[in-house]
Amino acid sequence: MAYFITNTTNPLKFLHFLTIFSLISYFSSSSSSLPPSIHDLLVSRGLPKGFLPKEVKSYTLSENGTLQVFLDEPCLTKYENRVFFDTVVTANLSYGSLIGVVGLSQEELFLWLPIKDIIVDDPISGLILFDIGVAYKQLSLSLFEEPTHCKPQGLLKNPVREQKGV
């Protein structure tokens, strides 16, 4: 590097070197400022990375902890039972929990029930707790080790709204 700086016989080589060095510096610093993937974010907050499907397109996380997750279209996936993701899923994210979830439903005995809260109290227990309004359901964390594929349902209406007659 000292050779290029002190060598003034070929200023084009020096300029070329500075340009390449600047670009490398820029891209290495800008790539480190990219936000983590949604799955990495979940893990960093004590939740399993496989809770949200691979098809998540983007997310926002506000300073007050409000998480909004965006999908291209509503879709279904299956963990233990079928789960419906709306195009936007919103919740308050804190360590080990998603509280006040909106846009997520789970099928229970042929009924679609909204998932209200998701909590991992004790990761050592290997369990994740789902508050589905009428009951709490415990599932194995192993069901959420890897993000699943969520199958689009085309013009599928929200099954919760269909049951309410909306």
Higher pLDDT, 2 or 140: 140
The phi-psi region of residue 133 (left if phi > 0; otherwise alpha if psi is between -120 and 50; otherwise beta) is left
What are the pLDDT digits (tens) for 18-53? 445 444 444 444 445 677 899 999 999 999 999 999
DSSP string, 116-129: -EEE-S-GGGTEEE
Under CATH, which number does the domain 38-164 receive?
2.30.240
What does DSSP say about strands 82-94 and 136-140: parallel, antiparallel, or unpaired?
unpaired
Residue 92 structure tokens: 């308050």
61, burial (CB in 10 Å: exposed 0-12, middle 13-18, buried 19+): middle
Q: Which of 126, 156, 153 is nearest to 142 (CA)?
A: 126
Q: Which residue has the tokens 């042929």?
A: 110
* Contact by Cβ (8 Å): 116, 131: yes
Q: Which of 65, 85, 62 is nearest to 148 (CA)?
A: 85
Using CA atoms of 58, 61, 62, 65 in order, give the dihedral in degrees to the nearest 10.
Answer: 150
Domain ranges for the chain: 2-31, 38-164
* Contact by Cβ (8 Å): 47, 62: no
Q: What integer is the mean pLDDT of 62-66?
A: 95
| % of the chain with per-residue pLDDT over 90 | 59
Give the CB-side neighbour count of residue 24, counting CA atoms within 13 A: 6
3-state secondary structure at position 76 = strand
What are the pLDDT digits (tens) for 94-133? 999 999 999 999 998 889 999 999 999 888 888 999 999 8
